[in-house]
Each structure stands twice: as C-alpha cells, then as structure tokens.
Copies of this chain bind each other. A is one copy, B any other.
Amino acid sequence: MKIKNDLLLKTLKGEPTQRPPVWLMRQAGRILPQYREIRNRLSGFIELVTTPELAAEVTIQPVDELGVDAAIIFSDILVIPEAMGVDYEMIEKKGPSFPNPIKSITEIEQLTFGEDAASKLEYVYDAVRITKRELGGSVPLIGFSGAPWTLLAYMIEGGGSKTFSKARKFLHTQESAAILLLDKITESIISYLKNKIEAGVDVIQIFDSWAGILSPQLYQKYSLPFISRICKEINEVPVIVFSKDAWFALGELGKLDCQAIGLDWTVSPQIGRQWVGPEKILQGNLDPTLLYADGNQIEKAVTQMIHDFKGKHIANLGHGVYPDTPLENVKCFVEAVKGFKYP
C-alpha cells in the first residue's frame, strides 16, 4: 500500500523535502488523555502491550491527536527478554522488575532465542497488522527493538538502575557468558524485526537506551558489534539507531549500515553532523524539558534546531517525551516543525 504522507520515508532515502518529518519518542503514552483513559481501565501496562487491538488503538491516537508524520507501534523493549524466558513485571511508578535476573552461563545456555523466541511475540505482529490496516496508508509505521546491550543490562541487573553496576560487572567478570547472551539476544532481535517487517512496519528504530553508561572500550566490544550485525541483516526497510548518551561513539555509529542516527539533547546539531559524517540522516534532538516552556520558547527552539541541522533531519526530541508534558505544548512542538519551510 502506498503511504500518503511520505515525508519520513523520503527523508530516510535522502530525498529532499519541504520540511523535516516530525514524530516523538513515547508519543503513544501518558501525554494523551485518550491513552490514560484506556490505560486506567486495564490491570497494567503489560496487558496493554499484549492486547493487539488496544496496542493498535493507542499507536494511532497520536497520529489523530497530534498530526505527527509517523506512528510507532506501542510496545516495550522488554518483550524480547520475556520471549527468551526471562519474565518481567512493570511496577507502577517504579519501572520494570525481573523476579529472576540472569546470574550464570548455565541459565544463558538454557534460554530460548532466535525465531523460537520471536515466534512467541505474535501479539506484536498482530498489533502491527491491525495498526497498518487502520492507518490505511496515512503515515508510515515504525517498529522498534531495544539494542542487545540495553536488553542484557535489564536481564542481568533485574530492573532499572542509575549505574547498572551489576550488568557492567558482568561484562568485566563473565566475558564469555556476556558474549553468548548478546549473541542470543541479537539473534532474537533479528528474527523479531524481520517478523515485524513482514507484518508491515515501514521503518525500524533500535534503542540503545543505556549505551552512555558504558566506557568507550566496553561499548566497542559489547554494544556496537551487535548493533552492527542487526543493521547488516535488516535491509528491507530503513533503520534508525539511537544510542542514547553514546556521544563518544558517534563516529562509529556513522559507519553503521543504517540510514539514520538519533541524537540526545546534549549533542549540538553541528557536533552531531561533524562526528556522524555527511551521509546519515540525523534524528532529534530538542531537550524534552523545553516542552514545559511556553509556546513562543518552543517555537523559537524548534526553528533554531531545524536551522542548525540544515536538512537530512527528522525532527524529534532528544529522548522520550516526559509523561507530564502539557498536551498543548506537544502540539505546539509538532506545529512548529510543520510550519517550517526549508529555504
């Protein structure tokens, strides 16, 4: 099916457009009253993730309400660990928690992986199919996965953490176990993303949310090669890689076999372009807390940002939109991008 709003796809092909496309990380979520209404009816976050009709509904809400140029399938990066046999719970106001985090290579050897893991995520592919049907080709649909290191970090740490010191300790002390686990996660991600593409997603984004907590040496060894493998395997649709806070690796990220690199809000557009190089599309990167400011400030910041990126740019925040951001300010952000015209 031909996509009517092809701004994102054209941009990812490197074709010129009149303005950058715009979407927000976590646009399907608590910023929308429609989302909160559905969420409050349910037993929990995971029920929403695993019910395809509802996941599709909240995926489409921001397209209708905000007028963004892309939808991103509502899901969670931790469905992969779960499909591999490491269950998690989502604890209200606290975040994910794994009752039985991974401790040994024996446990890793017993994990389900690859297509055997990916085939357990039929509810995600169903959500993609329903969403695609309901979008009716209005905007492209983005599918996503956590990066291997970020998923390993949760599986070892057992939940969120400021330092992920257990996970980093694991890299330093159980090197071959870490590599085996990263291999199995990577194989699972590749199968998962290929299934998502077959179900209909038009673009893939990889989130390495905890990239920036690694030293450059650890990142080189335990994150980058596995993202690289995923990028080499996924050729069917464009791929965006967002390694949050990994400023030190932007040069290497620029060499990945992917179309776009996401930037967090600590990287200026000029430095981002300089380090990533001239080829890739850059995505980002307004400070999410700027959306707490008034409309004039938001508009000014958006205009400045688009100007500084000088094209080859997908407008977005530098992180997921914070859940208490006023809806009108999110709309102001989207409208400011849509009001821009490249000279």
Contacts and interface: CB of A to CB of B under 8 A. Distances in A.
A173 B326 CA distance: 13
Contact of A287 (B212, B215, B290): B215
Interface residues of A, number: 35
A341 interface: no
Given A163-B322, A248-B266, A293 B173 contact: yes
A162 interface: yes
Contact of A212 (B169, B266, B271): B266
Contact of A322 (B165, B217, B247, B292): B165
A209 to B, nearest CB: 11
A173 B296 CA distance: 12
A152 to B, nearest CB: 14
Contact of A165 (B212, B289, B318): B289
Interface string A301-341: 00000000000000000110010100000000000000000
A172 B297 contact: yes
A265 B215 contact: yes
B266 A172 contact: no
A97 interface: no
Contact of A172 (B169, B216, B248, B293): B293
A168 B171 CA distance: 33
Which 3 A-B residue pairings sit nearest by Cβ, starting from the closest? Answer: A168-B289, A169-B292, A172-B293
